[in-house]
Structure 1
Amino acid sequence: MDTTTAVNLQDAVHESYRELFNDTPLLVRSPGRVNLIGEHTDYNNGLVLPAAIDKNIVLAIGKRDDNAIHLHSLDQGQSYATTLDELERSPLLWPDYILGVAQQLIKRGHTLQGFNIVFAGDIPQGAGLSSSAALECATGFALNELFDLDINRLDLALAAQAAENDFVGVKCGLMDQFASVFGQEHRLIKLDCADFSHEYIPFNNPELRIVLFDTQVKHSLASSAYNERREQCEYGVSLIQKHHPEVRSLRDATLEQLDRYVKPADEVVYNRCYYVVSEITRLQDGCDDLRKDDFESFGKRMFDTHGGLQHLYEVSCQELDILVDLVRDDPAVLGARMMGGGFGGCTINLVKAEEVDRVVNEVSRAYYQKTNKTTQAYIANISAGTARLNR
């Protein structure tokens, strides 16, 4: 988010809150995220490498003197009201990300009273940048601040994830919420999804930009294929466990075990598992590249990841493949791959800063020629995580 946009968004949310509730609110900002490498590894207890970005949800909150909850989405132009005693899913969907977090905090023994919220954001919807996680984390952080709940950042991220799993009904891993809460400027987060330990990996090269190309499509296969891939990975683990009971997830598996126990039983399951085990190694090697400022080697690994997602894990789609192929031989693009669950959404690209305008123009034109669809390009700068805003 550039400074002008950030200030305008903050001002708009603040003024809307004052107009609606005649009070001065507490303001919170929570970012979306990208994931540089490590896709579909989170639910296999693997490693991921996300970062918070400079596209945010800005949320204003204030206490009420009753048990009511009054919510207003500035982007949707919609309001919703309920009470703390009636925390149920709404017909509008967007309130669920807020109500689910409130429910989780109450389940964890925290005492809330009624509250008002107004929010807006500049995170592109449907692009795979985790606007829902940003709203959940903004809500948890704001309630923590407003009611002095003394909840640490990991527990806030876990409560936000639980809200999405149990209230909204999306069985996501922790990566999105963790990145939103724990983000740091110019640093990626190497997150171990087995135990939530993490370390920060430097990513600060002024000669490179992270550019996202949005396919502007979301194919209906996404949710069913996601569940199917999880089941296939679990089946692969079960085949290994018959001989190595200590292997609890693909994080513990080796390529040799896959060759010996999975490949003879099911070729498709073998491909899925092979991709995941290789991707975990690829992420670790990629972190070594970044510690040495070897962005070219890191970029090649991004292309390798896309190949695995396309041919082995089979969660890409024609539009994503076209966007990656359009930059594959461009010397200004160090790496590119699909990002997120698949079957649509964005590709993430490492592009030389002085060539960004040219690359965006050429890719946009060629993508339209090949698909008759437009693509939207976003520049993502790595930013700090969820925080209170001062006025």
Structure 2
Amino acid sequence: MFSNLTQNFEKLFSQPHDFYVRAPGRVNLIGEHTDYNDGFVLPCAINYETRILVSSRNDDQVHVIAADYADQSDQFDLNSTINKHPSFLWANYVRGVVKYLQLRIKSSKYPQNTLKGLNLFISGNIPQGTGLSSSASLEVAVGLAFRHAFGLDLTLADIALNGQQAENQFVGCNCGIMDQMISALGQKNHALLLDCRSLETKAVAMPEHLSVLIINSCMKRNLVGSEYNTRRLQCEAAAKFFDVKALRDVSLSQLFDAKQQLDPLVFKRARHVITENARTLDAAEALTKGDLATLSQLMADSHASMRDDFEITVPPIDALVEMIAPIIGKQGGVRMTGGGFGGCVIALTVPEKIEEIRAKVTKDYPLYSNGIQAKFYLCQASEGASVIN
């Protein structure tokens, strides 16, 4: 799908591009809704990505064209206050990243860094609205484009944090830091154990014989308008009850000691986060050892916790997990991945099981989805964002 970008760029901007940036989507192996609770996550970057072709301008205008939205275009001035676009949601991710890059530079020890105008031509093959982080990928790609164009003194982690800030404060979704960090810092053939408090990362090698199969339920979700922010508020209420910064600081025994004083719903939300943190650390260890039986159980427990305690799965997603789990057995695992309320299921499995999974899902899933067929993406754990000259 990227084959005609170069020619189209020249047609649209009447000049060749100078370089392009790429930033991958991600799938989270385990560790759901733990990131904004200062917990642990275990994602890997995938071989589906956002690409932005870039050329310089001799003014302070940023001109953006989105190939995947029928070449819709946006233009804004770096010398004026950057406000939301009245009708294009995709444009707000770009505007937000640039706005917070400007603020970050002004407040940094490198205020001599400045932004000038750029032409940006955006395309991507990450399926949107599926929990594979097309938005975080876009944020990281835009940040990297400006860093490279103007030699900004920012690390890839800074680029990730800037993207999160844009999504939280400009777009209006209170996401954690995981999606942007894995898009920026992913490593080929590895997952990344990320401590969302310290931002320390540890590369975790994926067993060579394990395939990453993503099954898209094709149940559309929209986090900005969904119950994502409600879950975050419930977690914050639990942390406030215990007078700690985040649920990361509460043990399971502390939680059970306080069960009678807590709102039952808040208790369930907190139990998910606390147990999911433990599962994530255990899963990283199991992957390192190639212990697929333990991984299988951890992923099953994670899904049950998302379904029963955090209540973010939907019946078609639960059906997918239930039909795939017996096929994989103890040779991998399966669970919902992403923010919830639709989206995708991740199956870690030996390659010889993939066709059986495809056949089973193709035959049975439409019974649970009003006839909708699922889509399959066979992925590799890929490297993070990069610039190609």
Whether TM exceeds 0.5 here: the answer is yes
Aligned 8 A contact 2:129 2:221 in 1: no
Q: Is residue 363 of structure 1 aligned with residue 361 of structure 2?
A: yes
Rate the CA distance shift 1:220–1:140 in 2: closer, same or farther, 3 A: closer
- List aligned pairs for 1:163-312, cutoff 5 A: 163-205=166-208, 207-218=209-220, 223-241=225-243, 247-312=244-309
**Which residue of the partner structure matches residue 56 of structure 1?**
49
Give 1:230 shift: 1.9
Give TM-score scaled by structure 2 length: 0.92
Q: Give the counterpart letter for 1:57 in structure 2.
A: T
Counterparts in 2 of 1:331 and 1:198: CA distance versus 1, 3 Å: closer
Aligned-pair Cα RMSD in Å: 1.7
Q: What one-letter code is carried by the residue in structure 2 that aligns with 1:197?
A: E
The aligned residue for residue 81 of structure 1 is 75
Structure 1 counterpart of 2:341, one-letter code: F
Q: Deviations over 1:291-316 (max 9, x none)?
A: 21112211221111000000111111
Q: What secondary structure, in the 3-state scheme, does the structure 2 residue paired with 1:283 have?
A: helix
Q: Within 1, Cα distance between the matches of 2:158 and 2:262?
A: 40
Secondary structure, aligned partner of 1:181: helix
| Change over 3 Å in CA distance of 1:202–1:46 after alignment to 2 | same
Of 315, 326, 340, the match for 2:312: 315
Shift of 1:172: 0.8
Q: Distance in 2 between matches of 1:306 and 1:137?
A: 29
Residues of 2 paired with 1:338 and 1:31: CA distance? Answer: 20
Structure 2 counterpart of 1:300, which letter?
A: Q
**1:139 aligned counterpart, secondary structure:** helix
How far did 1:349 drift?
0.7
Identity percentage over the alignment? 36
- CA offsets per residue over residues 264-300 of structure 1, 9 Å max, x none? 4322222211111111111111111112111221122
Query: Greater CA deviation, 256-265 or 272-281?
Result: 256-265
Alignment partners' CA distance in 1, 2:224 and 2:120 = 32
1:108-187 pair list within 5 angstroms: 108=104, 109=106, 110-187=113-190
1:389 match: 388
1:265–1:137 distance in 2 versus 1, CA, 3 Å: closer
Please point out which of 340, 344, 347 is paired with 2:345. Answer: 347
Deviation per CA, 1:27-62: give whole Å up to 9, x if none. 111100010000011111100111111001111111
- Cα deviation 1:77-125 (Å, max 9, x = unaligned): 2122222134221111111111211111111224111110111111111
Distance 1:95 1:239, change over 3 A: closer
Amino acid at match of 1:304: D
Distance 1:308 1:337, change over 3 A: same
Counterpart code for 1:105: L
Given the two structures, how large is their TM-score scaled by the length of structure 1? 0.92
Give a deviation string over 1:59-86, Cα, whole Å, max 9, x none: 1111111122211111112122222134
- Distance change in 2, residues 1:263/1:317 (3 Å): farther
Alpha-carbon distance between aligned partners in 2 of 1:365 and 1:55, rounded to the nearest angstrom: 26
For residues 77 and 261 of structure 2, what CA distance do their matches in structure 1 show? 56
Amino acid at match of 1:76: Y
- Correspondence for 2:109: none
Structure 2 residue aligned with 1:326: 323
One-letter amino acid matched to 1:13 = L
More displaced stretch, 249-258 vs 327-336: 327-336
Question: In 2 relative to 1, CA 59–224 (structure 1 residues): closer, same or farther, beyond 3 Å?
Answer: closer
- The answer to whether the 8 A contact 1:222-1:341 is kept is no
Q: Which runs of 5+ in 2 are unaligned?
A: 107-112
Query: Residues of 2 paired with 1:226 and 1:377: CA distance?
Result: 25
Q: Which runs of 5+ in 1 are unaligned?
A: 1-7, 242-246
CA offset at residue 227 of structure 1?
2.3
Structure 1 residue matching 2:180: 3-state secondary structure? helix
Matched letter for residue 233 of structure 1: C
Give the Å deviation of 1:219.
5.5
Q: Supply the distance in 2 between the matched residues of 1:263 and 1:316 (Cα, whole angstroms).
A: 26
1:131-190 Cα offsets, whole Å, 9 max, x none, are 111111111101111111121111111111111112211111111100000000011111
Counting only pairs closer than 5 Å after superposition, residues 9-28 of structure 1 correspond to structure 2 as: 9=2, 11-21=3-13, 22-28=15-21
Answer yes or no: is 1:98 the counterpart of 2:72.
no
Distance change >3 Å, CA 302–CA 223, structure 1 → 2: farther
Equivalent position amino acid for 1:291 in 2: T
Q: Which moved more, 1:101-110 or 1:31-40?
A: 101-110
